[in-house]
Structure 1
């Protein structure tokens, strides 16, 4: 997420603060592209990747035909930066 913030800040500086004119590249457009890319990285970093896994198992004593207890376990995984 830190890279996204950095891109957004650099993009804002290029868009709103730099007044240089070049014939090769338009710094305002580059700044807008950086801000959009930074916003996308920030959004992705905040949402992250979430997975939910539910495990259900039946525990039976040895030799029994009916389960004595059902165990349900929920695991949530999230990738962090």
Structure 2
């Protein structure tokens, strides 16, 4: 995710702060492209770090005359950087 933030900062600098106009390249357009690419990178980085686990347990009661209980749990983990 750090690379996405770095690209966003570089794109913003090129778009809003640089006043140079070199021949053959439009720095404002390059900056906008970098900001869009960084937004996509940040979105994919945060989206790819979710994990879901489904756990099924069978609980047997202390009294054998009681029926067994099946418990299903869904656990969602998120990695935090």
TM-score (norm 2): 0.66
- The yes-or-no answer on 1:14 pairing with 2:22 is no
Query: SS of the counterpart of 1:21?
Result: coil
Unaligned 5+ segments in structure 1 are 61-66
How many pairs are equivalent?
A: 78
Kept in 2, the 8 Å contact 1:4–1:38? The answer is yes
Unaligned 5+ segments in structure 2 are 61-66
TM-align CA RMSD: 2.7
1:33-44 paired onto structure 2 within 5 Å:
33-44=33-44
Query: SS of the counterpart of 1:9?
Result: helix
1:24-70 per-position Cα deviation (integer Å, ceiling 9, x unaligned):
2211111000111112222333333323221224367xxxxxx6343
TM-score (norm 1): 0.66
